[in-house]
Structure 1
Amino acid sequence: MKLTATILSVVAAASLVSAGTFHPHKINPHDTISNGYIIQYDDNVNHAQAQNSLKSHKVDFKVRNQYNVFNGAAVTVKSGHKGEELAKLPGVKNVWPITLYSIPKLQKSNMKSNDPAAASLHTMTGVDIVHKKYKLTGKGVKVGVIDTGIDYKHPSFAVPGAKEGCFARYGKNCRVKYGWDFVGDDYTGEDPKPDSDPRDCGGHGTHVAGILGGGAVDSKTSPKPPQPFVGVAPEVTFGAYRIFGCKGSAGDDVILAAMELAFNDGMDVINMSLGGGSAYKNNPISILGDKLIAHGMALVASAGNAGSDGAWMVSDAGLGDLASSIASFDNIYGIYDSVSYGGAAHPYSPSENYNNRIDLPASATLVPIFEKDGSLSDGCDPNIYKSTDVKGKVVLVFGDLTRCKSGARGVNAKDAGAAGILVQTTPFGLAGLAGNPGFPMGSIENKAGNDMLAAWKKDPKTRLVWSKKPSNFLIEGGGAPSDFSSFGLDGDLRSKPDFAGPGGNILSAFPLAKGGYAILSGTSMSSPYVAGAHALYIQAKKSKPRGDKLRQIFKNTATIASNFGSKTKASAAKQGAGLINVLSAITTKTSIFPDHIDLLDSTHFKKTVKISIKNEGKHTETYTLSHIPADTLNSYPNKNTFPLGTPVIEAAYATVKFSVDKVKIPAGKTAKITLTFKEPKKGDASEFPLYSGYVVATPKTKGGVAVHVPYTGVKGDIAKVPIFDTDSGLPLLLAYDGDDSLEDVTPDYQFNLSSTKLPAILTRLGSHTPEFSIRIFDDKKNFVGYAHSANRGQSFGWLGRDPTYNDDGSLYFNAWIWDGMYTKTMDPSETPVLVSKHGVYNLVVAAQHKLSKGAYPKDFETHEFSNPIVITGQQK
């Protein structure tokens, strides 16, 4: 299509010359808006110029949102043009499908809201001292909460002395002063109906805001608080930017609009307790986030709750170079019902579908179920009960989730006549169990299971005594990195997450219509804690550092922690720089830059790194340099092709040599230190152990705050890390018959695209890949092109790591259905066409290894399917 002379002149003036890049979303086609795209323009192209270019190319579109800082727009395309075509248009820099982000699941805690320990989290971070000694409250600081809204009438958001909170548009003297509802109550991603009222009807945003800045509530206020409770920064000014309806998902087109409005409203900090799974940093939210931070804001985002999936799963919203990705630590204590056995009381968590205190007669004694090798059984095989009499007794089983979920265990025990079942958690803590209605089931801690098993071996007739009321317990995992918190690194082996906040078992406000208070867990809870800490720091220093500078300060001064029960430090891929210590951040007189060191892998190993230590105090200071190694994570100990959900911890440590062991730095001056790293001697490079540690500078002055930076690296060649889950038989070629069902095929089965059965390729990735593709070859091994999936679009582009399971517990995989469409190149502008030449073809699935140059097939993991695919030119 030719541009008119007028448009040509505009194009020339604006230098609309180079083609952009289309970034297809491959996680799930249902996670995108139909015909919806986010377009980022070239830097010197404005809205009018870009839209004129679209129109001149006969693109019929409706603008959903326009962005100024991001320099782009979200559009719905009515003319059938695809993202590949839009990216080719002059003036376009990047194009993404509009991606849906789900409301993070509310992970309810077993802790009761009146448990005093539920409010003890400020002792973990020094916030209690900052409140009492320094009288810091976040007053005068603006924090934007991009979430489900805020129930601003809740008394936690009232000014001191008021009975309830308010929103400035409808009241006076309101703490929730800014905000907008971008979507409306009924929005689930497709049809936003914005209005001016950002009041929360879901609960997530209210809980987040309460953690960040909930104020102390008078005991006479209704609803009465379960106990004295206060957020991190109880006098911040809120901006409530509602991007979710009462349920469902939100498109990133709306999220970008909320981010820009928060910027225009003058927010100092943005909190984003959301994320979209494993990814690279080149996504719209990360790009805009870095732009906002460069303009002076701070952005903190959740690292994700995919800890049970293992390595490479840190979430995308905080992947920007300047943004902060926040991991979670568990609160220390909890109040639980308990069961006493052998003289010791053990806390338990009843299953969700039972949801009652267990009360069984003394005759219901304990009976462990064993496998043939003598180990405690997981209870998944009903035949295991044939050799043991469990009638009227409480079964003890091991909590490994590899073979089955809790519901199946409960059915097996109940059918065998058991009175109830206790599930020993692995590796530790109290697991959440779904269970079965009416059947007593509870999870117990790992140590409790071992203690109960030892007591049973001494006397099988020992009685179980069930508590009549809950008691306070130090919980396995308390004060340590949360089991659910996602592991890094990201797809470029960058150090993410950055640091952590309390996120497990956190008491906060909840919508008045839903009870007023709740205790929830997740990195959704740790992120606002950090956002509140930003507000305290800004108030303390009476200045507004950029977000990357704040990140550096909080990382430098975080508390390096161990996993529960461990004497060594937890991996930086789990905790980042450690748990935020607000008191240390405010009082430190030293900083280290950069705030992280990415050593990459053995092939790209950064042996020598320079760091800068600045003395920001008023007197000369002497610093001692030291090194603290952290746990090494082995996700591939048995040459498995999909990473373990719980990596094996190894004592394989890197070494660091300093150019000087001590350095004297005058006030206000900076010293540069050269670090020389050596990879761990231990650890098998073919298993790709992920090692990490911390470089520490300790001031000589008594009471001085030691500062540190984390480093991370992978021993071995990252280009050899397996990408496809071949252990599960994937990639796999099946037959798709058009009714959403997939059928197995024999090795000699021949597809004919003129029939109803189409080839469907199933994939599951255990690692990121810069380029995924499904390639077509003819019977002479000549390359034909790239398969265009009937259900997912083009079959090339980057992919993040896939999760292990779907929400229903089934194995996660992606299905790519091929109906004969293809493109000859990876040019985003090429329109897919049918393979017209009659013949026999084969499909090859390929994934480029991380940090490789992308030469095919050298730098790819490839899998060829032997089943021939016949094309007659009359395929359906």
Structure 2
Amino acid sequence: MKITAILSALAATTLVSAGTFHIPKGQHTANTVPNAFIVEYDDKVSHGDFHNSLNSHNIGFKVRNEYNIFNGASVTVTSDHKGEALAKLPGVKNVWPVQLRHVPKTKKSTKKPTDPEVVSDHHMTGVDVVHKKYKLTGKGVKIGVIDTGLDYNHPAFAAAGANAGCFARNGKNCRVAHGWDFVGDDYDGTNTPKPDADPMDCFGHGTHVAGIIGGNALNIKVSPKPPQPFVGVAPEVTFGAYRVFGCKGTAGNDIIMSAMELAFNDGMDVINMSLGGGSDFKYNAEAVLAEKLIARGMALAAAAGNDGENGVWMVSDTGLGDSSSSVASFDNAYGAYYSVSYGGVAHPYSISTKWNKVINLPASATLVPIFEKDGSLSDGCDASVYAGKDVKGKVVLVVGDTTRCLSGGRGANGVAAGAAGMLIQTTPYGIASLGGTDNFPMGGIEFQAGEDLLAIWKKTPASALTWSTAQSSFLVEGGGTPSSFSSFGTDGELRSKPDVAAPGGNILSTLPLAQGGYGLMSGTSMATPYVAGSHALLIQAKHAKPRGDEIRKIFKNTATISSNFQSKTKTSAAKQGAGLINVLNAITATATISPDHIDLLDTNHFQGTQKITIKNTGKHTETYTLSHIAADALNSYPDAKKAWPLATPLVEPDYATVSFSSAKVKVPAGKSVKVTLKFKEPKAGNAAQFPIYSGYVVATPSSKGGVAVHVPYLGVKGDIAKVPIADTDLKFPQVATVDAQGNMTDLPKGPITFDLKTNTPAVLIRLGSHTPDRQIRVYDDKKNFKGFVYTADLGAAFGYKGRDTYYDSNNNLVFSAYVWKDAKVVASENSTEVPVSLPDGTYNIVSANQHKLSKGAYPADFEVFDLGSFKIARA
């Protein structure tokens, strides 16, 4: 493989038990702040103790942020010391480099702001009923939005009776009642923040997130007005706006942690974190702080990530804590549409922008499908397809493949042929938005609707088209199912992540007034605030503030277990978690199941016997029937010879079986009963391809109308120690050479000598799966271990790391490059000694990746690659 440039890779860190510290490894300079570290102290160590320790060891420093709940600080080291020096200090528990987080890139929406389904999300989740029947609005609940800020002047955030929103410092009765700008407009993650008291949003992401939580655009009377009315999940919630991103959308994670603590201190009941840093283990600094906050009563909702096109092991880092909610995304399901009936069946259609009114054609305007010469439905892009066809005064039907032309071109050809109107069949499914042609009725219809119209036409071509004069509610084709972009789990320890899902595809919400006030976005960034707002409704309904992990359990127990589009089986828990959040179920259920997920691990570590506790929170004795729903298994790898996961896992019918110690249990009001579950792995499925299997254990009450509760389970068939970690498909790991100008190329054939000036070795690493310990080892010519590769920008080459994405946002291949220009090594993973330079000589480099769930004995528990020997002879 030809290498021409050093490309960025995901950051990684290392966490060890108290008393032994390992320096975080694997970061790339593009993803970290130079010489900046987050330090966690032992419990009895104070900030003053830490400062004194730094001074007594002659370590120059500047305090960036200090934390109390976390009990630590972030510092910039101003003297000639690295993170190793911090690790040696007495009372230091853990150290992380300050990593850069980016505002997630939302996915391009496939709809228009005027399309009905972009405001249909509450029908999917029961929130519409909760609003109307139970009058729950989130009033009295506080949600902190840690994001790009919030345009608090927006009328959708106005208090009742007001035409504009406000921030608390501008007066009383402001829904945005707390907040802080930690960074200033010009902050890019690497320069000095300029905090102030005004959390105004100049980016847009945070305002969109807040609108989903609690915007109210039902009765906007001032300009700009929304493209259609909508309301957030909790339209009377109180906001805290914590701005951690400047206008460029990058922030150090130490600033994010400061925002998390301030949100807690301001009394936020929930914090929303629609941000993340990619695949990781649960020991990243934000996740550690999140666990501490949740233990003190707060709830945290975090985005699962938008890496669905990268296959398994990709759920994002911020929500990986044991008690945090990692949120997946679903596409919107329902919409209020005008419809056209044919053969007695009504089909919804989207109105083209240039027509922009209900279609109302006479019965004489019958349907005429336009076919190609081979008999297939034409895309209508060539005027010649109308030759010899009488379409005058008729409605033509064409297919909506956009590879050759758009709706405007199709419409122009229809107009030229004398058609009265046009219906365009959406591909591959859904209802496409159309621009259209001036003064020409055009509508987009679902793919299946097009097939149905064709079938009726072939039988009775003279059938009339009947156009509705009012809108009706329709389930949109492909809606109400997991979004393709939503990341797949599991995490690096085979834990069940994500936790729960919410609407995140094609969501209409608020934007800053300077950006037009309203817009569509898609992403788990949009699903996460939906869950945060749902927390507010549940807290209000319970008249109490349960701990965040208790709220998560209720939502997971009562979620709607869903299927992929046109699938008869349930979607994998590695994609949807416990299912689509159902707020109506959550507030009316009278039972819970603990724990809220079951991790069966792999075949070699199989945890087949599990216990669950069913608690009756109702007022009467209840009998529950236990059952099992199997979900799709995900074949993660194409075959045993491939090292990189499939971009889209193959769905297989590999189902586990479950038996219960009691098929029915009677539980008195306020009491609990334990049930033992015995799982058996699927008989089907190739263990060499590591299928991820999952399903749901359900407890159904006997009382009429009672809400069933469930927990997801998940396991991997096969030996997880055999899951490939390094991307050997693309010849990683490997050693390359870097010249004095920084250009990187393959090593020439035969022995090579590096002078570390005109040519320098670079070890290239690319991971297709998590590893608890990624190492680059160095041996001398007598096979004596000399240490781990160390570079100034990436640190020592050991420590845990999540998997890499395929490409970065610029479509460049992602990998880590350890450019070994100083030939330095660290002697031991437990060492905090200063790295030393090796003398000239002959050395051998070995790349090794620890297998998941292993004890870490080298080399037995590692995937090992001998990268060959070479000479170092300094010029």
Alignment TM-score > 0.5, same fold: yes
- Output the CA distance in 1 between the equivalents of 2:806 and 2:507: 27
CA separation in 1, counterparts of 2:22 and 2:784?
Answer: 27
Indicate the residue corresponding to 1:617 in structure 2: 618
Residues 1:825 and 2:828 aligned together: yes
1:35 aligns with 2:38: no
Deviations for 1:1-32, whole angstroms, at most 9, x for unmatched residues? xxxxxxxxxxxxxxx99453322243x32010
Is the 2:18–2:93 contact (alpha carbons within 8 Å) kept by the matching residues of 1? Answer: no
Residue 69 in structure 1 maps to residue 74 in structure 2 = no
Q: CA deviation at 1:449?
A: 14
In structure 1, runs of 5+ residues without a counterpart are 1-15, 339-343, 351-364, 370-388, 400-405, 412-418, 433-443, 459-470
Q: Equivalent pairs: percent with the same residue?
A: 61
CA contact (8 A) 2:155 2:220 kept: no
Partner of 1:22, secondary structure, is: coil
Taking the TM superposition and a 5 Å limit, the aligned residue runs for 1:797-836 are 797-819=799-821, 820-836=823-839
Distance 1:337 1:856, change over 3 A: farther
Name the residue aligned to 1:44: 44
Letter in 1 for 2:133: K
Q: Which residue of 1 aligns with 2:140?
A: 140
Q: Structure 2 CA distance, aligned partners of 1:664 and 1:624? A: 9
Which range moves more in the overlay, 107-116 or 802-811?
A: 107-116
| Alignment-mate amino acid for residue 663 of structure 2 | D
Q: Are 2:791 and 2:820, in contact at CA under 8 Å, matched by a contact in 1?
A: yes
Summarize the alignment of residues 430-509 of structure 1 with structure 2, pairs less than 5 Å apart.
476-509=477-510
Deviations 1:779-824 (A, max 9, x none): 3333222111354221111110100112122322222212211122
Give the Å deviation of 1:856.
1.1
Task: Specify whether residues 449 and 193 from structure 1 end up closer, same or farther in structure 2 by C-alpha distance, changes over 3 A only.
Answer: farther
Pairwise CA distance, 1:685: 1.1
Hey, what does 2:203 align to over in structure 1? 202
Alignment of 1:725-804 (within 5 A): 725-789=727-791, 791-804=793-806
| The one of 711, 721, 724 aligned to 1:709 | 711
- 1:430 CA displacement: 9.2
CA contact (8 A) 1:753 1:869 kept: no
**Residues 778 and 180 of structure 1: CA distance in aligned 2, closer, same or farther (over 3 Å):** same
Q: Which residue identity is paired with 1:776?
A: V
Cα distance in 2 between the residues matched to 1:366 and 1:865: 59
Q: SS of the residue aligned with 1:796?
A: coil
Q: How far apart, in 2, do the equivalents of 1:366 and 1:249 lie? A: 51
Whole-Å separation in 1 of the counterparts to 2:150 and 2:220: 22
For residues 430 and 21 of structure 1, what CA distance do their matches in structure 2 show?
53
Structure 2 residue aligned with 1:663: 665
Residue 800 of structure 2: SS of its match in structure 1? strand
8 Å contact 1:17–1:91 — kept in the other structure?
A: no
Distance 1:398 1:118, change over 3 A: closer
The alignment covers a number of residue pairs equal to 798
Offset of residue 182 of structure 1: 0.3
AA matched with 2:57: H
Cα distance, 1:448 vs structure 2: 8.1
| Post-superposition offset of 1:392 | 9.7
Residue 826 of structure 1: how far off its partner (Å): 1.8
Structure 1, residues 734-765: CA drift from partner, whole Å, max 9, x if none?
A: 22113232112333251323551112222211
- Counterpart CA distance in 2 for 1:445 and 1:735 is 56
Distance in 2 of aligned mates of 1:451 and 1:85: 69
Alpha-carbon distance in 1 for matches of 2:121, 2:565 = 16
| 1:734 counterpart letter in structure 2 | A
Q: RMSD in angstroms over aligned alpha carbons?
A: 4.1
Trace 1:362-381 onto structure 2 (pairs within 5 A). none
Q: Give SS of 1:98's match.
A: strand
Deviations 1:39-89 (A, max 9, x none): 000111111011111111111000011000000001111112111221121
The letter for the 2-side match of 1:120 is S
Q: What CA distance in whole angstroms lies between the structure 2 residues aligned with 1:748 and 1:571? A: 49
Deviation string 1:299-337 (CA, Å, 9 cap, x unpaired) is 111111111111000001111111111111000257999
Q: After the TM superposition, which residues 214-229 of structure 1 pair with which residues of structure 2 at under 5 Å, given as runs?
A: 214-229=215-230
Q: In structure 2, what is the Cα distance between the partners aligned to 1:554 and 1:325? A: 12
Q: Tell me, in whole angstroms, the C-alpha distance in 2 between the residues paired with 1:192 and 1:368.
A: 65
Q: Which residue of 1 aligns with 2:107?
A: 107
The structural deviation recorded for 1:258 is 0.3
Deviations 1:414-436 (A, max 9, x none): xxxxx9xxxx999877999xxxx
What amino acid is aligned across from residue 861 of structure 1 in structure 2?
Answer: E
Q: Does 1:555 align with 2:548?
A: no
CA distance in 2 between counterparts of 1:514 and 1:294 reads 39
For residue 536 of structure 2, give the secondary structure of its aligned residue in structure 1.
Answer: helix
Check conservation: 1:489, 1:573, Cα contact below 8 A: yes
Distance 1:728 1:335 in 2: 49
Q: Which residue of 1 aligns with 2:440?
A: none
Q: What secondary structure, in the 3-state scheme, does the structure 2 residue paired with 1:865 have?
A: strand
Residue 268 of structure 1 aligns with an amino acid whose one-letter code is D
**Match of residue 522 from structure 2:** 521
Q: Give the conservation status (yes or no) of the 8 Å contact 1:111–1:336.
A: no
Long gaps (5+) in structure 2: 1-16, 340-345, 353-369, 375-380, 387-397, 406-412, 414-424, 434-443, 459-470
| Aligned partners of 1:98 and 1:253 also within 8 Å | yes
Once the two structures are TM-superposed, the CA of residue 172 in structure 1 deviates from its matched residue by 2.1
The TM-score, its normalising length taken from structure 1, stands at 0.84
Secondary structure, counterpart of 1:799 in structure 2: coil
Paired residue for 1:170?
170
Q: In the superposition, relative to structure 1, how do residues 398 and 734 fare at CA in structure 2: closer, same or farther (>3 Å)?
A: farther
Contact 1:36 1:75 in 2 (8 A): yes
Residue 602 of structure 1, CA deviation: 0.7
- CA separation of 1:216/1:790 partners in 2, compared to 1, >3 Å: closer, same or farther? closer
Give yes or no for contact 2:739–2:757 (8 Å, CA) kept in 1.
no
1:273-288 matched pairs, under 5 angstroms: 273-288=274-289
Structure 1 residues 286 and 445: alpha-carbon distance in aligned structure 2, compared to 1, 3 A threshold? farther
Which of the numbers 816, 840, 849 marks the counterpart of 2:851? 849
What is the distance in 2 between the residues matched to 1:762 and 1:18?
32
1:25/1:99 contact within 8 Å kept: no
Per-residue displacement from partner, 1:486-535 (whole Å, max 9, x unpaired)? 11000111111000111001111111111111111100011100110100
Aligned to 2:321: 320
Match for 1:514: what amino acid? Q
Alignment-mate amino acid for residue 77 of structure 1: V
Distance 1:398 1:112, change over 3 A: closer
Residues 244 and 256 in structure 2, CA contact (< 8 A), matched pair in contact too? yes
Task: Name the counterpart of 1:673.
Answer: 675
Letter in 1 for 2:664: K
**In structure 2, C-alpha distance between the alignment counterparts of 1:837 and 1:495, rounded to whole Å:** 49
CA distance in 2, matches of 1:430, 1:487: 26
Secondary structure of the structure 2 residue equivalent to 1:65: strand
Are residues 1:865 and 2:867 paired? Answer: yes
Deviation at 1:733, TM superposition (A): 2.2
Change (3 A) 1:447 1:844: farther
